[in-house]
Structure 1
Amino acid sequence: MRRADRLMQLIQILRDGTLHKAANLAAATDVSLRTIYRDMETLAASGVPIEGERGVGYRVTAAITLPPLNLTMTEVEALHLGLLAVREGADAELSAAAARLSAKLDAVMPENRSRAPQGYGLAVYPFADAARGFQHLPSLRQAIRTRQKLALTMNSAERTVRPLQLDYWGRLWTCVVWCEKSRDFDEIRVDTISTLRILPSLFVNEAGKSLTDFNARQQGQAGR
């Protein structure tokens, strides 16, 4: 049995809310006790509300659990925008729930650690800080798709860039750009953008200025 299938089977067993001994879970899934202990740690780290410990047993404490989901970057963006709307609403209970849900999503979001900018870990930035940049995500995505240059204001300075790719690091969004002022690549935090204008001028792939060139540079640096 694949590990993903076994984890799903364990969720189905535990979701009745009763206490299940690790030995019984191991027998039900035909694995060792050590494997069950690792699986429980994995499920807990993934946001499944598991309560228990080795030698005692385990149970799921919430009434509702969801199977694993595969989300696109656009769907992640939609989730963040929706959570932001609820988080900033007047209902205190819903606002708190949105914050908790955001934390659970952060806990299961994958990260490309091979090129994550230093300090851009999961849930490092408070929700309100990262949320400032959410308003710019649709325009950034449009400009990347249509290959239009952008005029950005950041720290009171304006710069013209070619947007190449959006990345997500756990509430924090960044954009890979080619900056026409510095004549170099940059990864900018979306939440640091004060204003954004899509310019009418288009850009084409040029040697040394494309996403392929950026990725090649990153791979070269990682190999050192």
Structure 2
Amino acid sequence: MASSQNRSDRLYALMEILKDGGLHRAEDLAAAMQVSLRTIYRDMQTLANSGVAIEGERGTGYRAKAVLTLPPLNLTEEELEALHIGLEVVGAGMEGPLREAAESLSAKIDAVLPEEIGGVSRGFGFAAYPFAETTQALQYLEPLREAIRARQKLRITSTDQVARDVRPLKLDYWGRVWTLGVWDETLGGFAKIRVDQIAELTVLPSLFVEEPGKSLKDFLAQT
């Protein structure tokens, strides 16, 4: 039986595939992940239960997209992220009236979503396994944002104790998972780092300047 960490990695890989907005057959996903159809069906249900915007069903295929607006308010990506973070924190660490209030707020958000994406935010503020641990990433979000703005080099040590020096380029939030796009100076290439898998973050004394082949524009062209 695969470990929970392996399952978490597989679910993240599925999210990366699905978020292109295209329709993906379960058979193709199973082949890409080298698992059974039954496992893919279970994974899709797990993603949906965790609040990821999954559309589709067995026999037709699956797609996913992130929700970025809530009528009558128009929310920026950062505003939606802040709302998600607040509900995540309350859901993970509170009991009693505050948790009940967060559940009520989650239900109200669900009720005003556009009809064409109805239901995609079910359980909006409360992440189910295996993404409940993503709340551990909250401590790194602001330092990462500051490093991106300042073009500050970082040394990132992952939970498997691998350290690498990087140029932070882009912080993304999608479907419960934060990722950091970087130019990895240790490996000499672009990479995506899951923020919830950062064990230690060190700000290095040097800044970086934009260089051909290592810029955000180059990163986006390759992803």
TM-score, normalised to structure 1's length?
A: 0.54
Partner SS for 2:140: helix
| 1:94 and 2:98 are equivalent in the alignment | yes
Deviations 1:58-116, CA, capped at 9 Å, x for gaps = xxxxxxxx73432223323322332233224442453365367569869999xxxxxxx
> Which of these residues, 66, 76, 79, is aligned with residue 72 of structure 1?
76
- Mark the CA change 1:183 to 1:103 in structure 2 (over 3 Å): closer, same or farther: farther
Aligned residue runs from structure 1 range 1-224, under 5 A: 67-95=71-99, 98=102, 126-154=130-158, 155-218=160-223
**CA displacement at 1:144 relative to structure 2:** 0.4
Greater length-normalized contact order (CA 8 Å, ≥ 6 residues apart): 2
- Mark the CA change 1:196 to 1:104 in structure 2 (over 3 Å): closer, same or farther: farther
Contact 2:134 2:176 in 1 (8 A): yes
Partner SS for 2:213: coil
- Mark the CA change 1:158 to 1:106 in structure 2 (over 3 Å): closer, same or farther: farther
Q: Aligned partner of 1:171: which letter?
A: R
Separation (CA, whole Å) in 2 of partners of 1:146 and 1:92? 41
Separation (CA, whole Å) in 2 of partners of 1:108 and 1:200? 47
Separation (CA, whole Å) in 2 of partners of 1:127 and 1:92? 23
Separation (CA, whole Å) in 1 of partners of 2:112 and 2:210? 35
Contact 1:164 1:177 in 2 (8 A): yes
- Mark the CA change 1:196 to 1:80 in structure 2 (over 3 Å): closer, same or farther: farther
User: Computing the radius of gyration over CA atoms, which structure comes out larger, 1 or 2?
Assistant: 1
Partner SS for 1:133: helix
Deviations 1:126-154, CA, capped at 9 Å, x for gaps = 45211111111101100000000111110
Deviations 1:156-187, CA, capped at 9 Å, x for gaps = 11111110001111111111001111100011
Q: Please give the root-mean-square deviation of Cα atoms over the aligned residues, in Å.
A: 3.1
Q: Counterpart of 1:8? A: none
Question: In the comparison of the two structures, how many residue pairs are matched?
Answer: 141
Separation (CA, whole Å) in 2 of partners of 1:126 and 1:96? 23
Separation (CA, whole Å) in 1 of partners of 2:222 and 2:176? 26
Bigger mean CA offset, 165-174 vs 80-89: 80-89
Separation (CA, whole Å) in 2 of partners of 1:214 and 1:108? 36
**CA displacement at 1:190 relative to structure 2:** 0.8
Q: Counterpart of 1:221? A: none
**CA displacement at 1:197 relative to structure 2:** 1.6
* Long gaps (5+) in structure 2: 1-50, 52-69, 114-126
* Long gaps (5+) in structure 1: 1-46, 48-65, 110-122, 219-224
